[in-house]
């Protein structure tokens, strides 16, 4: 045996063709020697490489030549924003990796310490998202989303299939869910339902069927925008509305609080008009005439009924997952109710948040048995491997940026830039405020935009002797018009992560939606808003105003 091995080694050195395995190594090596050097150079000579260097280059130019306020930290923060948003918009670096850049950029530029920045990547909103995603994974694991998708499709698809009607059903369901729970949670819950419907369709990214591809884009866009629009209707629909109501009570304690019903009487008609405009835009841009015939082979009503029957009755595990999810919705809705009727959150003196309820109910999934196998629970950690950590990182980056803008002094500089509002004519003040809020919110979180903008608007209202809500409401609602970029709100990220839509799709639909929302809000604020909020009274609380 040793002789044979030595013989083969000798042959390998003298005549490589003797050993059948020996040619494989030199052939691959030759190919590598011929291809590595030029491919490395070619791989660097791409637009992507240019955009990679463009981020730090623009950051350096801002830090060297742009004067922003009196503090160096304000200028540095603006440079960091330029760097990060350049990478986000060009996708030169993967979005989740770009989202981690504040962890090294903030300490390097003296904005905040590493510990402070790291804390921004885990707060109550992020725990809300994590808990919601675990529940969504449970819904997906037990095919509950498929059952719901089949029911919605069967109810709204029509016979023959009517794509605009089906799109209306999906969007209306999402908007209704978003009225009673957080926008992010509504998008997380409904996106698997929407993709469950889309999974029935053939592969659409190959360009073989443009009508089907366009319909898929319409469905995903409809879900993320419906989640944002539905949240405007109620105080519990989004944190922005709660922030506005809290500031109203804090700044004007002598005024009556804004109740749930008061907001609903104004918010629901506003959301309803914007919703139907959004649906009309999606139908015009994405529902082609040939879509009905293209979808008929995959969404036949009789076939859908047979497939729904094949699922059989709901199992114990499905019922328990729905029970936990329903319980979470109830907890979200009842944590804070009204001043006269406080929710369960008052039992914990305000220490519990929506994320508390989300993680608590998600934990129950790892405790409740599924009655399929002995000792097996509804969920185990192996099923959570698909948790979208990219969304968590992107959320953390948004919170870190919001904190950096405030602590660096850049927020004060931006606030001074809004002094021009005092010279704006009365009829233009509402659309101007709405556009400002809608622009800022594309780059920071909705809550951060509201927290930054509303106190400034109160001060401007005092100077102009206007009712504060004439500026506060448009500013807060405008902060919810984050329709243009994936980073504008977590709901956008949920849709963007499906891979069905691109940034150009969001721009194509989001821009007319933002313009229409501004116009509708401006009209309603001076008509319905004057009746609901009493804004026709110019000076209601002069003593409180002077104490600001």
Distance (Å, rounded) from C-alpha 137 to C-alpha 497?
A: 15
Residue with tokens 């280059």: 57
Per the document, the length of the chain is: 548
Which residue would you say has higher pLDDT here, 497 or 80?
80
Give the position of tokens 């448009």: 474
- What distance in Å separates the CA atoms of residue 351 and residue 357, rounded to the nearest whole number? 12
Cα–Cα distance, 171 to 316 (Å, whole number): 29
Q: Where are the alpha helices (DSSP H) in 93-237?
A: 95-99, 102-108, 114-119, 124-141, 144-156, 163-180, 183-198, 210-230
Q: How far is CA 77 from the centre of its chain?
A: 24
Start-to-end Cα distance in the chain: 96
Q: Per-residue pLDDT tens for 245-268?
A: 777 877 777 776 677 677 888 989
Distance, in Å, from the CA atom of 358 to the CA atom of 499, rounded to the nearest integer, reads: 26
Model pLDDT, residue 536 = 67
Helix (H, G, I), strand (E, B) or coil at 342: coil
Give per-residue burial for 239-248: e unless 16+ CB within 10 Å, then b. bbbbbbbbbb
Please give the pLDDT value at position 421: 67
Q: What kind and span of H or E run contains 251? A: helix 239-251
Nearest to 86 by CA among 108, 68, 59: 59
* Alpha-carbon gap, residue 419 to 424, rounded angstroms: 10
Name the pLDDT band for 56 (thresholds 50, 70, 90). very high
Q: What is the pTM of this model?
A: 0.64
| 150: nearest Cα among 187, 210, 199, 183 | 199
377 forms beta bridges with: 369
Cβ count near 468 (within 10 Å): 26
Quick: pLDDT tens for 421-451: 667 777 788 888 888 888 888 876 777 677 7
Give 44's Cβ-side CA count (13 Å radius). 6
Residue 500, token pair as written in the block:
């069905």
Q: How crowded is residue 426: how many other Cβ atoms within 10 Å of its Cβ?
A: 10
Task: Calculate the alpha carbon distances from 412 to 184, 409, 436 in Å.
Answer: 29, 5, 15
Gap between the Cα atoms of 125 and 128, Å rounded: 5
The residue among 485, 441, 497 whose CA lies nearest residue 238 is: 441
- Mean residue pLDDT of the chain comes to 78
Nearest to 183 by CA among 404, 509, 483: 483
105: burial class by Cβ within 10 Å (0-12, 13-18, 19+)?
Answer: buried
In tens, the pLDDT along 58-83 reads 999 999 988 887 788 889 999 998 99
CA dist., res. 136 & res. 365, Å (int) = 11
Asked whether the predicted pLDDT for residue 357 surpasses 90, the reply is: no
pLDDT tens figures, 172-211: 888 887 887 678 777 877 887 777 777 767 654 444 467 7
- How far is 235 from 326, CA to CA, in rounded Å? 19
Q: Are 436 and 521 within 8 A, CB to CB?
A: no
At 237, phi and psi to the nearest 5? -70, -30
- Grade residue 35 by pLDDT with cuts at 50, 70 and 90: very low
pLDDT at 513: 92
DSSP state letters, 419-449 = GGGGGS-HHHHHHHHHHHHHHHTTTS-HHHH
Alpha-carbon distance of 417 to 79, in angstroms, equals: 18
pLDDT for 548 equals 30
Contacts of 119 (CB under 8 A, 6+ apart): none
The DSSP letter of residue 373 is S
Model confidence pLDDT, tens digit, residues 107-131: 999 999 999 999 888 877 778 778 8
What does each C-alpha distance from 56 to 23, 61, 85, 89, 91 come to in angstroms? 47, 9, 11, 14, 14
Q: What is the pLDDT of residue 516?
A: 92
| Whole-angstrom distance, CA of residue 76 vs CA of residue 452 | 20
Domain ranges of the chain: 48-93
**What's the pLDDT score for residue 368?**
93
Higher pLDDT, 16 or 435: 435
254 phi and psi, to 5 degrees? -80, -15
């Amino acid at each position: 045996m040793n002789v044979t091995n030595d013989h083969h080694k000798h042959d390998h050195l003298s005549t490589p063709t003797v050993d059948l395995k020996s040619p494989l190594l030199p052939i691959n090596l030759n190919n590598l020697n011929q291809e590595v050097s030029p491919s490395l150079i070619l791989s660097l000579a791409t637009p992507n490489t240019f955009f990679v260097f463009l981020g730090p280059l623009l950051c350096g130019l801002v830090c060297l030549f742009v004067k922003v306020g009196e503090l160096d930290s304000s200028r540095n923060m603006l440079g960091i924003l330029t760097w990060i948003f350049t990478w986000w918009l060009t996708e030169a670096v993967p979005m989740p990796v770009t989202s981690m850049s504040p962890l090294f950029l903030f300490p390097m530029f003296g904005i905040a310490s590493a510990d402070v920045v790291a804390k921004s990547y885990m707060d109550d909103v992020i725990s809300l998202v994590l808990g919601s995603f675990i529940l969504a994974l449970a819904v997906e694991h037990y095919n509950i989303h498929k059952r719901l998708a089949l029911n919605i499709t069967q109810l709204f698809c029509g016979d023959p299939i009517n794509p605009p009607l089906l799109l209306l059903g999906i969007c209306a369901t999402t908007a209704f869910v978003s009225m009673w729970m957080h926008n992010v949670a509504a998008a997380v819950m409904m996106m698997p339902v929407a993709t469950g419907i889309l999974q029935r369709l053939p592969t659409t990214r190959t360009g073989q069927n443009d009508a089907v591809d366009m319909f898929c884009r319409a469905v995903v866009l409809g879900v993320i925008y419906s989640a944002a629009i539905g949240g405007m209707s109620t105080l519990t629909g989004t944190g922005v509305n709660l922030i506005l109501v809290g500031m109203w009570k804090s700044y004007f304690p002598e005024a009556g609080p804004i109740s749930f019903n008061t907001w609903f009487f104004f918010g629901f008609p506003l959301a309803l008009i914007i919703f139907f405009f959004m649906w009309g835009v999606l139908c015009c841009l994405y529902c082609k005439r040939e879509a009905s015939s293209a979808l008929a082979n995959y969404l036949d009503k009789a076939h859908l009924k047979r497939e729904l029957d094949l699922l059989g009755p709901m199992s114990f595990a499905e019922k328990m997952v729905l029970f936990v999810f329903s319980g979470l919705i109830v907890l979200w809705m009842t944590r804070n109710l009204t001043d006269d009727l406080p929710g369960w959150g008052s039992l914990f003196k305000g220490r519990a948040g929506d994320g508390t309820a989300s993680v608590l109910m998600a934990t129950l999934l790892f405790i409740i048995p599924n009655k399929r196998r002995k000792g097996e629970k509804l969920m185990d950690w192996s099923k959570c491997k698909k948790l979208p950590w990219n969304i968590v990182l992107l959320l953390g980056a948004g919170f870190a940026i919001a904190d950096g803008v405030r602590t660096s002094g850049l927020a004060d500089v931006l606030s001074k830039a809004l002094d021009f509002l005092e010279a704006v004519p009365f009829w233009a003040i509402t659309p101007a405020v709405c556009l400002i809020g809608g622009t800022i919110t594309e780059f920071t979180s909705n809550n951060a935009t509201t927290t930054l903008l509303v106190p400034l608007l109160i001060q401007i209202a005092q100077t102009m002797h206007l009712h504060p809500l004439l500026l506060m409401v448009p500013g807060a609602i405008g902060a919810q018009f984050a329709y243009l970029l994936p980073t504008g709100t977590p709901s956008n990220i949920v849709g963007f992560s499906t891979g069905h839509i691109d940034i150009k799709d969001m721009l194509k639909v989001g821009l007319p939606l933002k313009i229409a929302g501004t116009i509708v809000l401006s009209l309603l604020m001076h008509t319905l808003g004057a009746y609901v909020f009493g804004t026709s009274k110019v000076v209601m609380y002069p003593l409180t105003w002077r104490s600001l």
